[in-house]
Amino acid sequence: MLKRAPGELRSRRWFGPDDLRSFGHRSRIMQMGYAPEDWRDRPIIAIVNTWSDIAPCHAHFRHRVEDVKRGVLQAGGLPLELPALSLSENFVKPTTMLYRNMLAMETEELLRSHPVDGAVLMGGCDKTTPGLLLGAISMNIPAIFLPAGPMLRGNWAGKTLGSGSDGWKYWDERRAGNISAVEWQDVEAGIARSYGHCMTMGTASTMTAIAEVLGMSLPGASSIPAADANHIRMSAACGRRIVDMVWEDLKPSDILTPAAFDNAIIAAMSMGCSTNAIIHTIALARRAGVALTLDDFERLSDVPVLANIRPSGDTYLMEDFYYAGGLLALLKRLEGRLDLNAGTVAGGALGDAVRGARIHDGDVIRPIDEPIYREGALAVLKGNLAPDGCVIKPSACDPRFLQHAGPALVFDSYAEMKERIDDPDLDVTPDTVLIMRNAGPQGGPGMPEWGMLPIPKKLVQAGVRDMVRISDARMSGTSYGACILHAAPEAFVGGPLALVRTGDVIVLDVAARRLDMQVETAELDRRRESWRPPEPRYQRGYGWMFAQHIAQANDGCDFDFLETAFGAPVDEPAIL
């Protein structure tokens, strides 16, 4: 169904007018070898590519972009590749989260400032999915997200290795002296065997699946392994489809409804999703004008975990998930809970794809009455330690910690924790509650994934593999354990986490959704009065701007000035 005529294309504003400025645009595109037949009356498609030489999860994008271009050309469009920040989770310090909003700004402004009618967004490594989508939502021209796809299963000494999760697991064995240096090198060589993003149900797999359930990817796209030939075909299909989306004028605002976000949360819960999903989904929703809060995750938390994928599951990885039917098969299990009328970039309803899905392995994608965890992959807790909320992943922690009381052992920073954690004289028992503060959005800075604090070495050697840990940091979606994260407000801005002291008794009750320190209110008031704010992390540059404008975790860590309600809408570039 065509809604747009060629004369209404946005790019026409650059190339159409009979004036000197447009002469410049036309002569310069001809300088690149294009003839008027290449652009005249054709949708111009931006391909926002997060490939770089230091982004292993996106290494194949250098080739896939050619497949996207092939699809665009087949459908009668003109593809233009626009490189964007690659945000490689493995290499960017202190954390990619410091730069998620920078990618969002870059995406929005790339699309705004160039003569493009639609966009294919190529991402997958953790922050690239929300970064690209945030920008595209705010720009609101037709856009489709092409997920990088998970890498192949890891392999070492006959064992299957999962990204992150098995790194943590075997590192504890190495610290305990059970794995030699030579064996460890083999683990390093075997855990990441191909291009593609992490293949556990970490943040990357979670966010690409959320993008698909939201309707921003072609149905079935997010589960295809990066190295599978189906991924090549999916890339070309995205190229073909975006051209039609331009003619249909199908924009993110037509797709991202409250029902779409409810669907995404339900699906994420059933996947045993990354805790990071909460922060990113809140930010995405608010850009789309949907007032999502932590309470919505609680409202929709009564969903069983059906995807038997590490770290919530104990056996399978994303490659197995794909062979079992992938995300569409999982959504099939959830048919009764989802709004299948929600739209997608394919042009129809989510239900069109879900109804025909098949489940090929009921151990990987469990039936509703045989879940790997009965309900609540994520739980939102509140209390006097985190009045604005914090998050735990009960499906990935030792059940005996879901109700726990123990004395706090407090570290003021990551550096202090790292220096002291393996001290043989550390005053710690398996019941101790480890607390690390000043690791939030401002304090980290950028809220690094430090929340899975290491178990103290002397406890590791005694066989302890889990204990209660609390911080205002995030943790990798591939991490596991009784880790309470995202405590808000963070300590750096004076949240109550700044007031807790070593020896205070901490009480955790996941069923009651509570996290408290047993300290009298009058004593907390005294401590608050003597608290002094730390020195700012930055005096100039991007970090300074970040500190001025970053929201707390419970509000999605967006910049205030990027939120949709901030100021008047930005105009299209003037024709000058």
| CB atoms near residue 30 (< 10 Å) | 13
Q: Does 188 bind ligand FES (CB under 6 A)?
A: no
Q: How far is the CB of 386 from ligand FES (least distance, A)?
A: 27
Q: How far is the CB of 540 from ligand FES (least distance, A)?
A: 30
| Binders in 196-235 for ligand FES, by CB under 6 A | 197-198, 202, 204
């460890």: which residue's tokens? Answer: 184
* Listed ranges 195-203, 309-317, 322-330, 440-448: which one lies at the site for ligand FES (CB under 6 A): 195-203
Q: Does 518 bind ligand FES (CB under 6 A)?
A: no
List 106, 126, 166, 472, residue binding ligand FES (CB under 6 A): 126
Residue whose CB is less far from ligand FES, 90 or 403: 90
Query: Distance between alpha carbon 251 and the CA centroid of its chain, in Å?
Result: 22
Q: Does 433 bind ligand FES (CB under 6 A)?
A: no
Q: How far is the CB of 87 from ligand FES (least distance, A)?
A: 9
Residue whose CB is less far from ligand FES, 149 or 445: 149
List Cβ neighbours of 316 (8 Å cut-off, separation of 6 or more). Answer: 308, 309, 310, 324, 363, 364
Residue whose CB is less far from ligand FES, 197 or 474: 197
Q: Does 90 bind ligand FES (CB under 6 A)?
A: yes
Q: How far is the CB of 68 from ligand FES (least distance, A)?
A: 20
Residue whose CB is less far from ligand FES, 43 or 164: 164
| Binders in 53-82 for ligand FES, by CB under 6 A | 57
How long a stretch of residues is the chain?
576
DSSP 61-80: HHHHHHHHHHHHHHTT-EEE
Residue whose CB is less far from ligand FES, 50 or 554: 50
Q: Does 89 bind ligand FES (CB under 6 A)?
A: yes
d(CA 302, CA 515): 20
Helix (H, G, I), strand (E, B) or coil at 50: coil
| Binders in 2-61 for ligand FES, by CB under 6 A | 57
517 vs 47, 383, 504, 508, 535, CA distance in Å?
50, 8, 7, 9, 26
Q: Percentage helix, strand, coil, to 5, in the chain?
A: 40, 15, 45
- Judged by CB under 6 A, how many residues of this single chain contact ligand FES? 10
Q: What single letter denotes the amino acid at residue 542?
A: Y
Q: Does 125 bind ligand FES (CB under 6 A)?
A: yes
Check: CB of residue 453 under 8 Å from CB of residue 439. no
Q: How far is the CB of 490 from ligand FES (least distance, A)?
A: 24
Residue whose CB is less far from ligand FES, 197 or 286: 197
Q: How far is the CB of 304 from ligand FES (least distance, A)?
A: 26
Give the CA radius of gyration of the chain.
24
498: which DSSP letter?
G
Residue 559 CB-half CA count within 13 A: 23
Check: CB of residue 274 under 8 Å from CB of residue 206. yes
Dig out the tokens for 3 from the structure.
């809604």
Q: How far is the CB of 211 from ligand FES (least distance, A)?
A: 14
Q: Does 121 bind ligand FES (CB under 6 A)?
A: no
Rounded (5°) CA angle 43-74-355: 95
List Cβ neighbours of 273 (8 Å cut-off, separation of 6 or more). Answer: 201, 206, 209, 210, 377, 378, 477
Residue whose CB is less far from ligand FES, 57 or 273: 57
Residue whose CB is less far from ligand FES, 148 or 213: 148
Query: Distance between alpha carbon 237 and the CA centroid of its chain, in Å?
Result: 24
Q: How far is the CB of 163 from ligand FES (least distance, A)?
A: 6
Chain residues in the site for ligand FES (CB under 6 A):
57, 89-90, 125-126, 163, 197-198, 202, 204
